[in-house]
């Protein structure tokens, strides 16, 4: 187990800056998830920690050592790849023991460690099979087993579930969560899937274009996103963004409205805002409800998706902007019918228009 610290870490390929000065602290035993859209630099960052990519500048520490120039084998890390990287001609037992064989471990040591890993991953019955006789999930378990036997200080996972189908992904996600609880080791996990990030992480690092957008516990990020990008990236369906006009500011409240929105006072904490400004009102679909009285938002039903336990209502607001409401009951709406909606202003977010928005809803 070890603490991992990145200080102003950068990576360039020629003139292209791929990682633009990143500061991240990962505590001993913490499960840290790097999340962001494809191309944001998360795999590069993980590979730099693993020692598979050089660090252009900055400092990387694992435990109490600066490891910038240390080869991968001496960093105390073990990486699990998306592609599993297991050998088809070897049995599961031989694959799991591979790192130990290379390191010259004795037969007894290998047997004991493989048996322990197999017990943890519940794959004792698979040890004599070859990879071709395994399912995708079982192959991924072999790859994890190979990491476990090395007793690394830090586990690194690079999109380990991407090749699995949806149901298996959920099972393996839970298994990795259990593994973390059981081993208590520091883990860094890369994914573009915000659900994996939300469910697995103690700490999430949201990345965009090689820069950190926000770091925090999943629920902190969900309830207090620092910018439009984080707000739009975490949570499903994505947060609704509605362009509004600032009518007035009073203390820590801002009064906003638009053609579809009655004047409403919301928190000004991401300000400053001044009258006349254009701002972005963020509403999570789960917090939008059908109004019993007059309502705060007005529009027309564009589409209804009945999922049984909830109904996803796609509304076109009077100002022409789209809005999704995730209603926690089964309701029937006809397409085109007028609808009045409401929300708790304390659960609304107000953002200044900013440059992070462009790809916020791109996932
Ligand atoms: P992610 O894992 O978030 O999808 P990557 O870390 O794979 O992103 O890539 C980040 C960026 O670095 C991308 O824009 C990619 O094109 C670029 N990149 C990765 N490897 C190289 C390389 N060897 N040479 C040049 N650019 C690279």
pLDDT tens-digit readout, 204-226: 999 999 999 999 999 999 999 99
Is residue 362 included in any domain, yes or no? no
Which protein residue's CA is at the shortest distance from atom 18 of ligand 1? 18
pLDDT one-digit tens code per residue, 5-55:
999 999 999 999 999 999 999 999 999 999 999 999 999 999 999 999 999
Q: Is 13 in the pocket of ligand 1 (CB under 6 A)?
A: yes
- Residue 79's domain spans which residues? 4-233
CA 20 to ligand 1 centroid distance, Å:
13
Residue 345 above 80 pLDDT?
A: yes
138 & 27 share domain = yes
Q: Are strands 154-158 and 77-80 parallel, antiparallel or unpaired?
A: parallel
pLDDT band at 356 (very low <50, low <70, confident <90, very high): low
270 and 309 both lie in a single domain: yes
Residues 228 and 248 both lie in one domain: no
Between CA 133 and CA 14 the distance in angstroms is 44
pLDDT exceeds cutoff 60 at 363: no
DSSP class of 43: H
Share of the chain above pLDDT 90, in %: 78
So what's the pLDDT on residue 357? 63
If asked whether residues 56 and 184 sit together in one domain, one would say: yes
Is residue 361 in a domain?
A: no
- The residues pairing with 4 across neighbouring beta strands, listed in sequence order, are 26, 62
DSSP-H helix ranges across 83-217 = 92-102, 107-120, 136-148, 166-183, 194-200
* Res 74 pLDDT > 80: yes
* CB count in 10 Å sphere of residue 320: 9
pTM (whole model) above 0.75:
yes
> Is the Cβ atom of 44 under 6 angstroms away from ligand 1?
yes
Residues 66 and 195 occupy one common structural domain: yes
Find out whether the peptide bond into 197 is cis, omega within 30 degrees of 0: no
119 and 183, same domain (yes or no): yes
82 and 210 assigned to the same domain:
yes
Tell me what pLDDT residue 362 has: 40
Q: Which residue, of 233, 257, 283, is where some domain finishes?
A: 233
Helix (H) or strand (E) holding 246: strand 240-250
Strand partners, 349: 282
Would residue 144 count as lying in a domain? yes
C-alpha 349: how far from chain center: 21
pLDDT, tens digit (0-9, with 9 covering 90-100), for 92-125:
999 999 988 988 889 999 999 999 999 988 899 9
Give φ, ψ of 196 to 5 degrees.
-60, -45
Which of 9, 10, 13, 194 for mutating ligand 1's site (highest number of atoms within 8 Å of CB)? Answer: 13
Query: What is the distance in A from the centroid of ligand 1 to the CA of 292?
Result: 50
Between CA 99 and CA 148 the distance in angstroms is 10
Position in ligand 1 atom list of the atom nearest CA 210: 10
**Mean local confidence (pLDDT), 265-285:** 93
Which of 183, 205, 233 delimits the end of a domain?
233
For 235, residues 6+ apart whose C-beta sits below 8 A from its C-beta are: 194, 222, 284
Q: Which residues, including other chains, have CB under 8 Å from residue 53's CB and lie 6 or more apart?
A: 11, 44, 47
3-class DSSP assignment, residue 268:
coil
């Amino acid at each position: 187990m070890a603490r991992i610290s990145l200080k102003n870490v950068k990576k360039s390929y020629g003139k292209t800056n791929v990682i633009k000065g990143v500061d991240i602290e990962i505590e001993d035993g913490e499960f840290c998830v790097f999340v962001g859209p494809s191309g944001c630099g998360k795999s590069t960052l993980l590979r730099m920690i693993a020692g598979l990519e050089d660090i252009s500048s900055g400092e990387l520490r694992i435990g109490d050592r600066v490891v910038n120039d240390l080869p991968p084998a001496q960093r105390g890390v073990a990486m699990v790849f998306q592609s599993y990287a297991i050998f088809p001609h070897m049995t599961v037992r031989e694959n799991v023991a591979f790192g130990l064989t290379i390191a010259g471990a004795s037969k007894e040591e290998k047997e004991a460690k493989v048996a322990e890993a197999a017990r943890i991953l519940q794959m004792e019955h698979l040890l004599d099979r070859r990879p071709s006789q395994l399912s995708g999930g079982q192959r991924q378990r072999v790859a994890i087993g190979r990491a476990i036997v090395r007793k690394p200080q830090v586990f690194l996972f690079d999109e380990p579930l991407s090749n699995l189908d949806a149901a298996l992904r959920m099972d393996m996600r839970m298994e990795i969560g259990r593994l973390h609880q059981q081993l208590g080791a520091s883990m860094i996990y890369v994914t573009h899937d915000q659900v994996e990030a939300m469910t697995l992480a103690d700490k999430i690092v949201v990345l965009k274009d090689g820069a950190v957008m926000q770091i925090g516990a999943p629920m902190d990020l969900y309830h207090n996103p620092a910018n439009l990008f984080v707000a739009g990236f975490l949570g499903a369906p994505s947060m609704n963004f509605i362009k509004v006009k600032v009518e007035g500011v009073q203390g820590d409240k801002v009064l906003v409205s638009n053609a579809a929105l009655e004047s409403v006072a919301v928190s000004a904490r991401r300000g400053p805002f001044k009258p006349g400004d254009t701002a972005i009102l963020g509403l999570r679909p789960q917090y939008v409800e059908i109004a019993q009285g007059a309502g705060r938002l007005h529009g027309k039903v564009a589409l209804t998706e009945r999922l049984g336990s909830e109904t996803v209502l796609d509304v076109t607001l009077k100002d022409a902007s789209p809005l999704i409401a995730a209603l926690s009951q089964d309701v029937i709406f006809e397409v085109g019918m007028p609808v009045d909606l409401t929300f708790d202003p304390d659960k609304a977010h107000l953002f200044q228009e900013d440059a992070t928005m462009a790809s916020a809803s791109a996932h």
